[in-house]
Amino acid sequence: MTTAAAPRVDVERFADQGYLLVEGLLDPQLDLDPVVREYEALLDAVADEWRAAGTLRSAYADLPFAQRLVGPAIFDLITSPRLVDAVARLIGPEVLSNPIQHVRIKPPEALLSAELRERNTMVSAVEWHQDQGVALPEVDGTEMLTVWFPVFESTVENGCLCVVPESHRRGLLTHCPSRPGQAFDLRIPESIRGAGGFPVPMERGSVLFLHRRTMHSSLRNLSDGVRWSFDLRYQPIGQPTGRPWLPSFVVRSAADPASEVHDWRTWAGLWQSARDHLAAHPEAMKPRRWTGTEPACA
């Protein structure tokens, strides 16, 4: 049985444009479907618990997953050899999984309350920003790579990402609070950002790589289904992560293969320990660099 060749990773284009879309990098059946099944099992448990408590009238088990929400499979996805091969092409062979990671399940905007639409970018539209700008200053010298991909198709209608080509060449730009009282919800003011940018629709299995200073945003979800995506970070081993209170782990190391983490339970244990520590010591989380008092934010 022959294995299909991995899609080409155009390193020069990434360096020039600040982003790179690689179609067909992940296998929907082998890489993504196990994640869907893992989340379905979690959703079943939560829905049954809420139904028993009277919070839900039904577990809605007859509906597809993408309409109902509106472990190991995750670890396998983060450490997927085809994905890590592509990452290594862009940042080198010593690969660390950065702890700035998000699973974004964006419901249809029509189902959200006004407060959620206006104050929570985890489930609504995301304003223009650079990923370097929303991490601590310690990450400024880190070759942090953003890796974004949808679990199902990502379209203009359901809120795909948008990018500004070559914007990584402009350096780090000022970020301001997007909304009053939201210190962790940041945007680049339009007066600084300027014009440009376009949406990047993606099929299942496609992966979008972003330079840490590439400006990007996401559209509103105007469809009747969920837009589900993973927003991961990788970087060279030994560089600051920008979230020192959260756990990173070695994905691949030619210099020290014994340092690689291959057991998902080890990875899960790192996160459990971090959560326990933060619960007891919330002061370990440091404030971000922007205060909202910068001249561009006036």
pLDDT at residue 175, as a whole number: 94
Alpha carbon 125 to its chain's center: 14
231: CATH: 2.60.120.620
Instruction: Please check the confidence at residue 151 and state whether its pLDDT lies above 90.
Output: yes
Q: pLDDT tier at 251 (50, 70, 90 boundaries)?
A: very high
d(CA 59, CA 4): 40
Q: Given the structure tokens 């407060």, which residue do they identify?
A: 115
Examine residue 276 and state whether it is found in any structural domain, yes or no.
Answer: yes
Collapsing DSSP to helix, strand or coil, 10 comes out as coil
Report which listed range, 97-106, 255-264, 284-293, is most confident: 255-264
Examine residue 34 and state whether it is found in any structural domain, yes or no.
Answer: yes
DSSP states along 192-222: HH-S--EEE-B-TT-EEEEETT--EEE----
Q: What is the mean pLDDT of the chain?
A: 87
Token readout for 3 is 């294995």
Instruction: Please check the confidence at residue 86 and state whether its pLDDT lies above 80.
Output: yes
d(CA 168, CA 165): 8
pTM of the predicted protein model:
0.88
Examine residue 90 and state whether it is found in any structural domain, yes or no.
Answer: yes
Examine residue 227 and state whether it is found in any structural domain, yes or no.
Answer: yes
User: How many structural domains is the chain composed of?
Assistant: 1
d(CA 298, CA 281): 34
Examine residue 297 and state whether it is found in any structural domain, yes or no.
Answer: no
> 160 is in which domain, residue-wise?
11-168+200-289
pLDDT at residue 34, as a whole number: 92
The neighbouring-strand residues paired with 236 are: 95
d(CA 34, CA 73): 6
Examine residue 175 and state whether it is found in any structural domain, yes or no.
Answer: no
pLDDT at residue 45, as a whole number: 67
